Copies of this chain bind each other. A is one copy, B any other.
Amino acid sequence: MIDTIGFDGDDTLWHNESLFSMTQERFRALLAHAADPDDLDRRLLDAERANLKVYGYGIKGFVLSMIESAISVTDGRVPARDLQSLIDFGKAMLEHPVELLPDIADVVEALSHRYRLILITKGDLFDQESKIARSGLAGRFDAVEIVSEKDSASYRRVLERHSVAPDRFVMVGNSVRSDILPVLAIGGHAVHIPYAITWAHEEAEPPDEHYRRIDSVLDLPPLLAAW
């Protein structure tokens, strides 16, 4: 029945959130003299939210938001060399080796013989392409789709482009909001594999016969075979 699998990239195939967490830790340490960690986190989150509509998702926008937060929290007294450090943190993120999650390489390889695989990621085109190339997984996927927003309209466009009926499609990812709900909304299947670092607000589980939650990607092949 299901013949096409969509895989999310960040925090489904490879680690990503841990890179942001690590950098945010360095950001807090750099500005510890000016504000306490909670205040810094709040200001950075406010800046990221305010900038999302002009920058979109990705590391470059994150760095620009860190710089703005550092300037505002110090009332403009932050030394330029500290802002250069923030730029260097961003470059380190962009050049960081791509680290696959456990068992991903084996499971993706096995599934690639039985299913059509499409990598569907959100974010910065250049950075995502670079990560896909460095992941060593590119050859396992029949197609790669990088979108600026993962909503139902985006998934519908991707499936139409590849002539895939939604009921023959399953999306696998770590985000209920981006990988699960919009796919269920257009009649597709969805498998949620939570990432170790969970967001502040715990995500609700959608009650849907086309939906499953698993703890390890190793559970994916038998689940698909049984569905």
Q: Which residues of A contact B (CB under 8 A)?
A: 54-58, 60-61, 63-64, 67-68, 70-71, 74, 76-81, 83-84, 87, 90-91, 94-95, 123-127, 129, 146-148, 161
- Among residues of B, the one whose C-beta sits closest to the C-beta of A74 is B80
User: Within the oligomer, what is the number of copies of this chain?
Assistant: 2
CA–CA, A32 and B226, complex, Å? 69
CA–CA, A148 and B146, complex, Å? 11
CA–CA, A63 and B83, complex, Å? 13
CA–CA, A125 and B76, complex, Å? 32
State whether B87 touches A68 (Cβ < 8 A): yes
List chain B residues, Cβ under 8 A from A78: 80
List chain B residues, Cβ under 8 A from A76: 79-81, 84
Sorted nearest first, the 9 A-B pairs with minimum C-beta distance are A56-B126, A125-B125, A60-B60, A71-B80, A54-B94, A76-B80, A76-B81, A126-B148, A78-B80
CA–CA, A91 and B53, complex, Å? 10
List chain B residues, Cβ under 8 A from A83: 67, 71, 80, 83
Could you list 17 examples of A-B contacts with CB < 8 Å?
Answer: A56-B124, A56-B126, A56-B127, A57-B126, A58-B126, A60-B61, A64-B87, A68-B87, A71-B81, A71-B83, A74-B80, A77-B80, A78-B80, A79-B80, A83-B83, A124-B125, A125-B147
